[in-house]
Amino acid sequence: MTKSFGARLSAAVAHHGPVCVGIDPHRELLAAWELPETPEGLEQFAEICVEAFDGLVAIVKPQVAFFESFGSAGIAVLERTVSVLRASGTLVLADAKRGDIGTTMAAYARTWLHDESPLCSDAVTVSPYLGFGSLEPALQLAQDNHHGVFVLAATSNPEGPQVQNAINPDGRTVSQTIVDEVAARNAGSDHLGSVGVVVGSTLVSAPDLTKLNGPILMPGIGAQGGGPDDVRRLVGDALHGVLPSVSREVLREGPSVSALRAALTKSQESFAFLNS
């Protein structure tokens, strides 16, 4: 693998559109799909999602926690899901939100970003709230292995502003500092950088993203209230690289593969303006 994650993502978005679709097998969806809350039900859920989305979307985002809740059997399902998607060329973003220091962060990085790991994904979400520098093991390994990292910057949960909107001595909010740190990592890239940020689509306002030169994952689309107008409002002139992330809006149409694909297509059409 010689192309950077940013280059691969740009090519995938050009071909499929910018939508990122989640694989979120939480218990309510398992019940709605009439699947048992067991490893076997989890596997059926994941297999249906793979059949519906593989080769039709730029990037797929499994929510790691819903697999971990089933213990080793759930991790095994996640390993197979990631492997099948990546083997066919579909990009995988592991939504793990890892964040720690030193050797522990390095171990998390090896889990999700080392090519010899059974859970190796194209990119992983990480939390910078032990200090941006604590992410260095993941950022370095991602760079070395041509993978990507998405850093939580401005999330839309009600508790987020307590930390993310705090003002640093230099007058910037913490979330703006995170965005600026990511922009510095992407500086000099001839194409879309490989370090992205996560910015909630239901926020009242967002940090300045104009110098990011990297992907912007925007969760909260659809069932949580976010939509195309919110993306335009929050991102402004930085539309290049935006990845609207949809999960329940699409997944609630399952378990029919054709219905899942139809919902995905509808979402892709809603955000076609991002590719224009």
pLDDT above 70: residue 1: no
Indicate the DSSP class of residue 15. Answer: H
Per residue in 52-85, pLDDT (tens digit) is 999 999 999 999 999 999 999 999 999 999 999 9
Average pLDDT over residues 174-188: 97
Residues 129 and 163 sit within 8 Å (Cβ to Cβ): yes
Lowest average pLDDT, out of 103-107, 178-182, 189-193, 244-248, goes to 189-193
Name which of 196, 231, 200, 198 is nearest 215 in CA terms: 196
Mean pLDDT to the nearest integer, 2-8: 93
CATH class of residue range 5-152+218-275: alpha beta
> % helix / strand / coil in the chain, to the nearest 5?
45, 15, 35
Residues recorded for the chain: 276
In tens, the pLDDT along 83-132 reads: 999 999 999 999 999 999 999 999 999 999 999 999 999 999 999 999 99
The percent of residues above 70 in pLDDT, for the chain, comes to 99
Mean pLDDT, range 179-188, rounded to an integer = 96
Whole-number average pLDDT of the chain? 96
**pLDDT confidence band for 173 (50 / 70 / 90):** very high
Closest CA to 199 of 226, 167, 169, 166: 226
pLDDT band for position 189 (cuts 50, 70, 90): confident
For 123, list phi and psi in degrees, rounded to 5: -160, 165
Q: What is the pLDDT of residue 195?
A: 98
Residue type, 58: A
What phi, psi does 25 have (nearest 5°)? -80, 60
Q: What is the pLDDT of residues 218-232, one digit of tens each?
A: 999 887 788 999 999
Higher pLDDT, 41 or 239: 41
The reported pTM is 0.97
Q: Which are the catalytic amino acids?
A: 97
Assess whether pLDDT exceeds 80 at residue 276.
no
pLDDT band of residue 2 (cuts 50, 70, 90) is confident
